[in-house]
Chains A and B, each alone.
Chain A
């Protein structure tokens, strides 16, 4: 069989507890290296660990004594032990907001929380995944960081490259929101607009990676993808730690490629296996925009595979028509007793306003998707309002200003009479 096996792998690298790469489809194992697809079946590779054994209390104390960012979980991530000393954006440990006002509006009585990842250095959860990819890029000797992006990732890569001392060249669909284009361009690396959708950009990058033009480039979400994806586990770790080392009963996660949802599930399972949280049932719900809802469609139709679609939604950060991790999302939603639901663009905008009005959190469109889907799930009875529920907001509303047409209630002369006449 002409495949690269674990025995004939690349030079050993030190990435903490990461032991190998393992195929999610067929289980074939490979050495740690900048590879992302199984040479046997094309399945996605993910990091397999030798996680710390022993006293959970000691591990918990070690984590709690760590820095106020994702590196407090370094013993559970594919990063070197001294990662916190290296130049980086140090994302994470964002706020878990107890959303009592939103809970009242939605009729949730069991405790509703918003994990607000707009507080990351480039204002989206992408800083988490990129931080892990940067360490892999260092380990494999890459000098340029790259990615295909719906916007948030391009900014996260540009910023991380600037801080960590890499060159960067990132690729985006040409028609992204202005806020995201500026955020991607300002860090000084190259930004390339591609005439096409995200799926076209993704395909282009996959071809570039096998070409001499892409030699020496670490594409965080292509050839570094097995490492990159692991960054999303930190959302699960933080949520549980912030709940007092307790699993949430229900969690609502946006779906683009589906990677984040699968890694949150992986993170929760790891905490259970390590004895850091009590083993009790949890449900994971996926949220999509109706204009790009291939996973929701497959869930509702009872299918195990996802039929790709051409995206058409204002939630551009979720506009992946061919979500690679879709089948795994379906498995997880069904296994945990969750569901996958979608909302219209109108419902997304309404949910952005709802979250802003009730909790003072201005979410980007993806946050509107999760809040909107949460409302829909409560109304349909699929989400139990008497249980502890966590909703993810993965990005800042300032990036998608165009989605929400908001302005002054009234414009007046600077006089008390004029204000009185306005009748506010």
Chain B
């Protein structure tokens, strides 16, 4: 499964400045592992020491926040858009 991953500004040092890269994987954890193979170091920014999504990272598969779906096991269908976004808020 090939998906398109939007990279936030603070992670673009790992992608040579690219704001969007391709990755392979049937679920989110596989996509992150594939990102790590091609852009070493990026997984440790997104996941904590125990392998969970960091508290202040939001990840969306298409328009869905994966915390409302199946977390790292959220399916990433072929052609899906994955967005990694730092958590911010404030109305």
Contact = CB atoms under 8 A, between A and B. Distances in A.
Interface in A30-77: 35-44
A149 B85 contact: no
B68 to A, nearest CB: 7
B5 to A, nearest CB: 12
Contact of A42 (B19, B56, B65, B90): B56
B87 A307 contact: no
Contact of A209 (B9, B14, B56, B87): B9
Contact of B88 (A39, A150, A202, A307): A202
Contacts of A323: 89
A207 interface: yes
A225 B10 CA distance: 15
Interface stretch (A98-106, A160-168, A280-288, A314-322): A314-322
A334 B41 CA distance: 36
A210 B9 contact: yes
Interface in B11-42: 12-14, 19, 41
What DSSP secondary structure best describes chain B's contact surface? loop
B76 interface: no
A151 to B, nearest CB: 7
A37 B68 CA distance: 23
B9 A153 contact: no
A229 B91 CA distance: 11
Nearest to A153: B91
A44 B58 CA distance: 13
B4 interface: no
B90 A257 contact: yes
Contacts of B45: 39-42
Given A2-B41, A203-B85, A25 B91 contact: no
Contact of A259 (B10, B63, B65, B89): B89
Interface in A97-151: 129, 148-151
A177 to B, nearest CB: 13
A225 B8 contact: no
Contacts of A1: 41
Nearest to A304: B55
Given A42-B56, A43-B56, A152 B9 contact: no
Nearest to A317: B91
A41 B54 contact: yes
Contacts of A3: 13
A322 B91 contact: no
B67 A206 contact: no
Given A37-B10, A41-B56, A198 B88 contact: no
A375 B57 CA distance: 36
A259 B87 CA distance: 13
Contacts of B9: 209-210
Interface centre among B41, B55, B68, B89 (most CB of A within 10 A): B89
Contacts of A225: 88, 90
A54 to B, nearest CB: 34
A203 B83 contact: yes
9 contacts: A25-B55, A41-B54, A42-B86, A43-B55, A151-B91, A153-B90, A210-B6, A322-B67, A322-B87
Given A228-B90, A259-B89, A308-B65, 8 more contacts: A2-B13, A36-B86, A37-B87, A38-B10, A39-B13, A207-B85, A221-B88, A256-B89
A-B pairs, top 4 by smallest CB distance, nearest first, are A150-B91, A257-B89, A37-B86, A2-B13
Interface of A: 1-4, 25, 35-44, 129, 148-153, 198-200, 202-203, 206-207, 209-211, 221-222, 225, 228-229, 256-259, 305, 307-308, 310, 317-320, 322-325, 327
Interface of B: 6-10, 12-14, 19, 41, 45-46, 48, 54-58, 60, 63, 65, 67-68, 83, 85-91
